[in-house]
């Protein structure tokens, strides 16, 4: 009966705001048609060692895999879309793989050595949780075509 808000105890704080649905729709389309890495997380909070070379298996009885809980709520969507997900701590890896989607915390943008918008990516910021956790999505132009 009440709007989403930080003072509403019935709203799950770790769910993304409704505005993220459009971007997640793009990710779903990309994952359905792309070969290779679909989504690459950038930054230490989301990093999972060796996930570019090793299949990460989701095992919730042992707490998922390193970085999985920090990526919430996105892993639920990415798993459903059958997205090929990886992560990196370096912009060299982003250059090398040219993923259609790059996701990072807004605070990690200052660490990028490359300007993704100059490389044809569209930048969109969404709250990763209900509030107070800005996530930046870079989606490469024409990646959904």
d(CA 10, CA 95): 42
From first to last of its 145 residues, what are the pLDDT tens digits of the chain? Answer: 555 566 666 555 566 666 788 999 999 999 999 988 999 999 998 988 877 765 555 545 545 566 777 888 898 899 899 999 999 999 999 999 999 999 999 999 988 888 999 999 999 999 887 667 899 999 999 887 6
Write down the pTM of the prediction: 0.84
d(CA 9, CA 33): 39
């Amino acid at each position: 009966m009440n709007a989403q808000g930080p003072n509403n105890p019935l709203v799950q704080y770790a769910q993304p705001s409704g505005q993220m649905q459009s971007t997640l729709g793009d990710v779903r389309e990309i994952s359905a048609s792309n070969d290779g890495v679909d989504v690459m997380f950038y930054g230490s909070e989301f990093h999972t060692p060796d996930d570019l070379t090793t299949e990460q298996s989701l095992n919730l009885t042992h707490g998922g895999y390193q970085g999985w809980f920090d990526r919430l709520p996105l892993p639920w969507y990415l798993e459903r879309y059958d997205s090929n997900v990886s992560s990196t701590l370096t912009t060299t890896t982003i250059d090398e793989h040219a993923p259609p989607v790059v996701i990072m915390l807004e605070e990690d943008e200052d660490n990028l050595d490359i300007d993704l918008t100059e490389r044809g990516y569209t930048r969109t910021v969404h709250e990763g949780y209900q509030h107070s956790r800005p996530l930046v999505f870079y989606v490469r132009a024409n990646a959904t075509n």
